[in-house]
């Protein structure tokens, strides 16, 4: 089998990138917990984000959905968003020290008691969060309090990084299900047995439903809502909200989303995430290419062209 030069360069790049990441993580993990979390936030916001173009991404996303935002607030978020991302990364890799903090965490919101009842009655629950605060806090906190929570995850494109990342998130709690046919089958088995499963769907999905997020079109996966309807599961928005000290969290549990259509339920999830993000703007991952307006414009133009052709065909009949 012939190996292309680009494939070799890509693999080498992944390998070297992983070495650099592992070295950074090792240095951070050598520090006391509080120091490592603060240091990783500082490094991400002051060193890595400018080099990786994250600052430009944050500014672009904010301009797309909130064009009237004052420049001072934009600049604050250009630093604060990567800071939160860096803290989240090292927290996930901190294993036992991170888990120990979950035992005394507060569960707040109208859905907290509903979750306890679902756990006691083995009612299937789909937990839905976003890349907000520390997105692994709800799972870690629930597991620490005796909840049976499994989670679907996307394997990283960098296979070298993926190996230790999966190990890190697996240390926080099991079971984990890799996205794919086999992982999906295991996830369904867990759900149907009365377990809870976690979803993150605040990313751009090529063939997703054209819903809105912050008032702008944002293609969104319907899978969480569809599963809730199919298996009569509660669909509960849940968030790990970082507190002002930058180190601790509370878990916000919203009321279950009423069953209706997958589109209406998924839009309600988007609206829930938007509402809590507006309260803590620096905690959502504005680095994501959530909207991709240029790509959506091409998609819309294609749809309109297809409609015109269909109309012309009907007129000729």
Each residue's pLDDT tens digit, 107-134: 999 999 999 999 999 999 999 999 999 9
SS3 204: coil
Which of these ranges, 189-198, 233-242, 252-261, has the smallest mean pLDDT? Answer: 189-198
What is the residue-averaged pLDDT of the chain? Answer: 89
CB atoms within 10 A of CB 211: 19
Helices and strands, number each (H, E), in the chain: 13, 9
d(CA 84, CA 44): 9
Which of these ranges, 34-48, 60-74, 194-208, 277-291, has the smallest mean pLDDT? Answer: 194-208
Region 149-174: mean pLDDT is 71
CB atoms within 10 A of CB 251: 25
Confidence of residue 299 (pLDDT cuts 50, 70, 90): confident
**Model-wide pTM > 0.95:** no
Region 292-301: mean pLDDT is 82
d(CA 63, CA 85): 20
CA 70 to chain CA centroid, nearest Å: 27
d(CA 39, CA 25): 11
d(CA 302, CA 296): 10
């Amino acid at each position: 089998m012939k190996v292309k030069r680009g494939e070799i360069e890509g693999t080498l790049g992944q390998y070297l990138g992983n070495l650099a990441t592992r070295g950074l993580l090792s240095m951070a993990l050598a520090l006391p917990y509080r120091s490592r979390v603060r240091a990783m936030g500082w490094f991400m916001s002051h060193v890595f984000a400018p080099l990786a173009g994250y600052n430009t991404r944050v500014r672009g996303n904010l301009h797309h959905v909130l064009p009237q935002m004052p420049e001072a607030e934009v600049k604050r978020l250009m630093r604060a968003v990567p800071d939160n991302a860096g803290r989240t990364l090292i927290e996930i890799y901190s294993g036992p020290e991170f888990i120990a903090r979950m035992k005394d965490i507060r569960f707040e919101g109208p859905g907290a008691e509903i979750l306890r009842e679902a756990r006691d009655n083995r009612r299937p629950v789909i937990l839905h969060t976003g890349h907000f605060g520390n997105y692994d806090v709800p799972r870690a906190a629930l597991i620490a309090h005796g909840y049976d929570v499994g989670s679907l995850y996307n394997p990283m494109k960098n296979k070298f990084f993926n190996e230790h990342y999966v190990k890190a998130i697996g240390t926080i709690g099991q079971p984990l299900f890799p996205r794919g046919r086999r992982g999906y089958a295991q996830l369904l088995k867990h759900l149907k047995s009365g377990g809870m499963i976690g979803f993150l769907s605040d990313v751009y999905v090529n063939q997703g439903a054209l819903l809105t997020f912050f008032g702008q079109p944002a293609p969104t996966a319907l899978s969480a809502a569809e599963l809730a309807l199919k298996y009569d599961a509660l669909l509960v928005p849940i968030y790990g909200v970082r507190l002002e000290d930058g180190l601790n969290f509370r878990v916000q549990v919203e009321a279950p989303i009423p069953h209706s259509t997958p589109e209406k339920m998924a839009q309600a999830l988007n609206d829930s995430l938007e509402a809590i993000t507006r309260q803590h703007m620096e905690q959502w991952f504005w680095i994501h290419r959530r909207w991709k307006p240029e790509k959506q414009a091409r998609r819309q133009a294609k749809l309109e062209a297809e409609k015109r052709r269909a109309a012309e065909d009907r007129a000729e009949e």
